[in-house]
């Protein structure tokens, strides 16, 4: 199993450009999450999904959109990138039934720089 | 005041030392407590979890929760250079996780 994979690993954008980050998991997990990690801020939840076709807002959703059309994929979109969105983005997945321990499995991250 | 407070460090110790990592929190609804380890330029991985107050031991690692003080700890015995990483505490009230900022630990040979 590849676990949780993220594409791309690195990206540099100009202000105003758009892009989509792809998260894929091959563990048949029900829940999926997008976080951003900034120095001094820790991990903050952007959006999450509790199943195929569902999405919900997290702590810092503004400027991002998500879609979960297939159970194994969770896409994070930036419609008009801003320098404040420069960060490392992590995707995580969680199997049904591990709650309440919330055993989340993280991907390797995407380093995004917005100039 | 943030819901979860964690000293960012870095915490530098010699190999073999006992390490204590701590988090405090303000939300009394948190019932489930986790520690994640994150190596440089990698994603976090779950190290330990505990429910409510008490201790849990796993090899060289002990997680401790004191709900009355809203304080959790992770102890690492006989620390090794391979333990050098950032340790993130995380908490849940049966919903999404709230993470601390992480403490960077450096174990020197």
Tens digit of each residue's pLDDT (9 = 90 or more) over B62-85:
999 999 999 999 999 999 999 999
Nearest CA in chain B to A89: B43
Residue A100 pLDDT > 70: no
A residues 13..52 contacting B (CB < 8 A): 33, 40-45, 48
Residue A78 pLDDT > 90: yes
- From the CA of B30, how many Å to the nearest CA of chain A? 11
The position carrying tokens 């952007």 is A46
**How much is the pLDDT for B37?**
97
**How much is the pLDDT for A4?**
96
Residue A28 pLDDT > 60: yes
**How much is the pLDDT for B43?**
94
The reply to whether residue A58 touches residue B96, judged by beta carbons under 8 angstroms, is yes
**pLDDT tens, B41-61?**
999 999 998 887 889 999 999
**What length is written for chain A?**
115
Residues A75/A81/B88/A99 CA torsion (nearest 10 deg): -30
Cβ A3 vs Cβ A26: under 8 Å: yes
**How much is the pLDDT for A39?**
87
Cβ B71 vs Cβ B23: under 8 Å: yes
**pLDDT tens, B5-22?**
998 889 999 999 999 999
Q: How confident is the model at residue A102 (pLDDT cuts 50, 70, 90)?
A: low
| Partner residue facing A48 (CB), from B45, B49, B96 | B96
> From CA A31, how far away is CA A54, in angstroms rounded?
10
| Partner residue facing B88 (CB), from A43, A45, A48 | A43
Over residues A77-94, mean pLDDT: 96
Cβ A102 vs Cβ A13: under 8 Å: no
> From CA B40, how far away is CA A28, in angstroms rounded?
27
**How much is the pLDDT for A99?**
58
When scoring B35, B44, B45 by the number of chain A Cβ atoms within 10 A, the one with the most, hence best to mutate, is B44
* Cis amide linkage into residue A21, ω under 30° from 0: no
**How much is the pLDDT for A101?**
56
User: Average model confidence (pLDDT) for chain B?
Assistant: 92
User: Average model confidence (pLDDT) for chain A?
Assistant: 93
The reply to whether residue B88 touches residue A58, judged by beta carbons under 8 angstroms, is no
**How much is the pLDDT for B80?**
97
Give every CB contact of residue A98 below 8 A, 6+ residues apart in sequence: none
> From CA B106, how far away is CA B84, in angstroms rounded?
5
> From CA A49, how far away is CA A31, in angstroms rounded?
6
Query: B24 vs A96, which has greater pLDDT?
Result: B24
| Partner residue facing A109 (CB), from B43, B46, B100 | B43
When scoring B5, B32, B97 by the number of chain A Cβ atoms within 10 A, the one with the most, hence best to mutate, is B97
Alpha-carbon B48 to chain mean position: 8
User: Which chain A residues touch B96 with a CB distance below 8 Å?
Assistant: 33, 45, 48, 58
């Amino acid at each position: 199993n590849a676990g949780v994979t993220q594409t791309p690993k690195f990206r540099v954008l100009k202000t105003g450009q758009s892009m989509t980050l792809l998260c894929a998991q091959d563990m048949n997990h029900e829940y999926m999450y997008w976080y951003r990690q900034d120095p001094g801020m820790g991990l903050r939840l952007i959006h999450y999904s509790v199943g195929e076709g569902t999405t919900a807002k997290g702590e810092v959703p503004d400027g991002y959109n998500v879609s979960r059309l297939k159970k194994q994929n969770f896409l994070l979109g930036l419609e008009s990138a801003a320098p404040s969105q420069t960060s490392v983005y992590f995707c995580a997945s969680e199997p049904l039934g591990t709650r309440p321990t919330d055993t989340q499995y993280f991907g390797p991250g995407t380093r995004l720089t917005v100039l | 005041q943030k819901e979860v407070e964690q000293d960012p460090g870095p915490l530098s110790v010699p190999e073999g030392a006992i390490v204590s990592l701590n988090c405090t929190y303000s939300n009394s609804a948190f019932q489930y407590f986790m520690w994640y380890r994150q190596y440089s330029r990698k994603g976090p991985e779950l190290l330990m979890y505990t429910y409510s107050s008490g201790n849990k031991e796993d090899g060289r690692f002990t997680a401790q929760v004191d709900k009355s003080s809203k304080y959790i700890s992770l102890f690492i015995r006989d620390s090794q250079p391979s333990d050098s990483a950032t340790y993130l505490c995380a908490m849940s009230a049966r919903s999404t996780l709230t993470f601390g900022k992480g403490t960077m630990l450096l174990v020197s040979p």
